[in-house]
A and B are shown apart, each in its own frame.
Chain A
Amino acid sequence: MIRSMWCAAALAAAGVSHPAYAQDAELSKIREEIRQLKESYEKRIETLERRLADAEARAGTQATASSPSTGRQANETTFNPALSLILQGTVARSSQDPNTYRISGFAPSGGEVAPAGRGFSLGESELIVSANIDPYFRGQLVAALTPENELEVEEAFFQTLGLGRGFTLKGGRFLSGIGYQNEIHQHAWDFHDAPLVYKAFLGGRLNDDGVQLKWTAPTELFIELGAELGRGRSFPATDRNRNSANAWSLFGHVGGDIGASIAWRAGLSHLRASPRDRAFEDVDSLGNATVQSFAGRSRLWIADFVLKWAPNRNASVTNFKLQGEYFRRRETGSLAYDDSAGSALFGSLGDAFESRQKGWYLQGVYQFMPRWRFGYRYDRLDFGTVSNGIVASGAGPAAADFPLLMTEHNPARHTLMVDWSTTEFSRLRLQFASDKSRFGVTDHQALLQYIFSLGAHGAHKF
């Protein structure tokens, strides 16, 4: 193009320098010559440009054939893993102190289950690093920088790529495949906090250290079966310092499409653990400190489903997501009670303990226009039956001395949220909840939350 302009300029200059008394006929003859010259040049340049474009295309093909990262410079950083960072924070108010949060009638899970702190607080900043290790393995690290300035490893695992026949092996610390929400990263949740069933039965979520083997069936209907063996480092298990797995789980999921607008997935999971000395602190009926601990077997069943609707599967304008899970747990074993640090009335006691408890939640989130969604969630836990040998024997403390384990209470919660996402990388959320986790009181919570993601565009689970 530059050449064509240069030629035209030169020719124009030649035209201008021509004596001014030239005849009209001569002038038009010159003009015609210039026009022809210009045309022929343009044609030749066009041909050259086309050849150049073809050559570029060929060069592009060769370059990308050798390195799949199109156009990126081949330097040391080419093999750097994908890096993304999640920034989160809240400003919240609540009518009850979040520091005294508990779910009455259910053994404390020891996880981070309390609602957002009052006032301004920073959430966990997550650093996600992932890459293919070689043609056979992939690796991922999710590290959380907590607002208390601690570094936590949420996930650090390898995963096979080339096992084939539908098998995938995962090892390290990872979010367990049980249930539906468990495997979803916190920044991708539809509400700020976890459903009550997750808080009560899994301490928020299950991310054990261990291995997972998963198999996807070669069928049109999505069928996935998985098994996990774990260290049992967190609730409902305990770390037992022994040469075998302390928790294991099995899960199966099926899924598919209904018509042109609905996709679904449903599943059933089972988690077994055998905790020893699973201790927590409580107070007796007079307010004196006690320590209780459970040893025995814990069996948890989860049924889950999720259904997503988007007109013609185009979720960009409107879409709806319905999700629900049902948890059912049975624990059998023995309970130890010790008040020697408090009233020292009974000292140290122990007897048989058994509980059958359950809970569920159902939530719907509707995107009613681009960028805007609102959602509602209902949570419910059922105290079920708890038999405590210490109380039954009648010789020691009474049920009132076990406010956490023995308060016959069915916790419930209503949660409403509206969120606004400028792009898929940023989200602002307003959430209100009326939380009856504690016996006899309702905690009114309101919060504003931000979630920003920087860096690599990670794929989100269904």
Chain B
Amino acid sequence: MKTLPQILAAAVAGASALPAVAALNVFACEPEWAALVQELGGDKVAVYTATTALQDPHRIEARPSLIARARGADLVVCTGAELEIGWLPLVQSQSGNSKIQTGQPGYFEAASHVALLEKPARVDRSMGDVHPGGNPHIHLDPRNIGKIATALGARMEKLDLAEAATYGARTKSFLDRWSAAIARWEKTAVPLKGVPLVVYHKNLTYLIHWLGMREAGNLEPKPGLPPTTPHLSELLAALKQNPAKAVVRTAYNDPRAAEWLAERAGIPSVLVPFTVGGTEGAKDLFGLYEDTLARLLAAVK
């Protein structure tokens, strides 16, 4: 993959460089895609994760270290659907790396391989920070992960022909384990069907859709706006009429509003990992779903 000048440059750059033996350098915008690349690539890839589960994916900055990491990437794997619009375009242009520009094979957008939910019929910022292409938090429906894995595996094969067989085999193995896991999770999650939940942001929509749960309210008055006292009071009054089973927030959400409402509504406040690394249990994609389901099931029992 590397030309001689690149190897020399990397050598000159010092010992701090990546374990450069890896065939494919991947820059993953979010931890879920880093985990997926790791599943499909194993030791043939070196993955850098640009953001963590503790960061609000809407509020990322194009900080220097991201530009430096994107400079050497062979493949950038991101959600797309404008989730990274506030920082990725700058990282791409400032990196000076032609391989990862939009439209190049080295730029992989997960959202273009699945159907998005909540595509707004009308786009107007008076409705909050809506995403014109639809809700971008697609990774919490495991069926989406399957579709994306297929497309991503194919892309990795194309970019690194020498290891194509490995990627192909690993993708197949992952998909087999993944569909078995989905069947298992759908069975365990039966008690969650129809359960009404209060969420923080519309970032659990795909999970709710997959398991047939119900969104009974949103701590944010409008997408992207922080919770306000009047809105929380209204929500509390509404919950008296139509009670929910739990208030669910993700690792990066401010816990205060969720705790406030949960305490007054007399329902549990549940933290879900949202992505890989969001909780102790969410060590990989399988752990992400297992831990999420376990936490939800414990709350609605």
What residues of chain A have their CB less than 8 Å away from a CB belonging to chain B?
A: 53, 56-57, 59-61, 64-65, 68-72, 132, 135, 138, 159, 161-168, 214-224, 253-257, 263-265, 308, 312-317, 370-371, 422-425, 454, 457, 459-462
Contacts and interface: CB of A to CB of B under 8 A. Distances in A.
Contacts of A253: 64
A451 B91 CA distance: 25
Interface residues of B, number: 65
A459 B89 contact: yes
A161 B62 contact: no
Interface of B: 5-6, 9-10, 13-14, 16-18, 51-52, 54-56, 59, 61-65, 67-69, 71-72, 80-82, 85-90, 93-99, 101-104, 109, 111-116, 119, 125, 128-129, 132-134, 147, 224-226, 252, 254
B96 A314 contact: no
A223 B55 CA distance: 25
Given A216-B67, A216-B71, A219-B14, A159 B61 contact: no
A68 B109 contact: yes
B18 A220 contact: yes
Contacts of A214: 96
A330 B97 CA distance: 37
Nearest to B64: A255
Contacts of A70: 80-81, 111-112, 116, 133-134
Contacts, number: 180
A316 B82 contact: no
A165 B96 contact: yes
Nearest to B101: A161
Contacts of B62: 459-462
Contacts of B133: 69-72
A166 B95 contact: yes
Contact of B65 (A222, A370, A461): A222
A144 to B, nearest CB: 22
Contacts of B10: 218
A47 to B, nearest CB: 15
B111 A460 contact: no
B13 A218 contact: yes
Nearest to B82: A457
A178 to B, nearest CB: 16
Contact of B224 (A215, A255, A423): A423
Contacts of B67: 216, 222, 224
Given A56-B115, A313-B55, A459-B62, A218 B6 contact: yes
B93 A168 contact: yes
Contact of A216 (B5, B80, B95): B95
A265 B115 contact: no
